[in-house]
Amino acid sequence: MVRMALGVSYDGRPWFGWQTQPNGQTVQDQLEAALKQFVGVAVPTICAGRTDTGVHATAQVVHFDVPVQRSNVSWVRGLNSLLPDSIAIQWACPVVPEFHARFSALSRSYTYLLINTPVRQPLWAGRAGWCFRPLDLERMQQASKVLIGEHDFSSFRSSQCQAATPIRTMHEIDIRRDGDLVLIHLKANAFLHHMVRNIVGELVLLGQGKTDIAHFERIFKALDRTQAAPTYSASGLYLTDVQYPESLLSKPAMTNTPILQL
């Protein structure tokens, strides 16, 4: 058996998230169907982060074990010929048996794209969130500093979250503007269910001037999801990077640079 790792990108709009469902309309279902056709046997897959319905990825990482060997190029081209246009393999490489796409990860990065224009933009529908009021990014960035470090993120945790603990370590948050597009980049050891979208919801309220920095800090420290802002749209959320120990998966093996990594 050979353990393989893949870098997968996808447009989340047509799919009901990553994780397999009976209707077969998920990214995992499509990938495993392509793998079965390519190698001739059923191949279960494990990913770095299970994205929700409508959430996108430029750098999802997947591993699986197969009883066949192919060149890295063959894995990429062969699987892409069998996948729908909204899903594509970016790179492939064999890894050591100890590698695990989820448990070996040191960190994950997500980028939230937000169109900040008075009128909605049809070409960004399903690809970015939208806020029609002007946003004060300096205040948003200042408030977000309280999230850096190891904390209990219960205020930004979905009620359906199945994680054993709400404790996570936030490494970086960067908020910047590129014309009408606002990019909110977050890097942590791991994320809770809806954590990024819930943080974005609270930051957008602050950026619009509806709350202040002291309020943001109180909401965070309250450890109560019911006090925080509504969950923001899935449309703007992208999984943009997963980092591993170099001994398990080196960056040179990951041939494509995530297009939304800041």
Domains along the chain?
Answer: 2-104 (3.30.70.580), 107-239 (3.30.70.660)
Specify the pLDDT at position 259.
Answer: 53
- In this structure, are strands 56-66 and 2-10 parallel, antiparallel, or unpaired? antiparallel
Specify the pLDDT at position 250.
Answer: 78
Catalytic one among 11, 52, 136, 152? 52
174 is catalytic: no
- C-alpha–C-alpha distance, residues 48 and 51, integer Å: 9
Residues lower than pLDDT 70 in the chain: 251-262
List, as residue ranges, the binding site for substrate. Answer: 110
pTM: 0.93
2, β-bridge pairs: 66
Token pair belonging to 17: 């998230």
Specify the pLDDT at position 262.
Answer: 43
129, β-bridge pairs: 114
* Dihedral class, residue 229 (left if φ above 0, else alpha if ψ from -120 to 50, else beta): beta
Give 132-177 pLDDT, tens digit per residue: 999 999 999 999 999 999 999 999 999 889 899 999 999 999 999 9
Specify the pLDDT at position 227.
Answer: 93
**Which value, in Å, is the radius of gyration of the alpha carbons in the chain?**
19
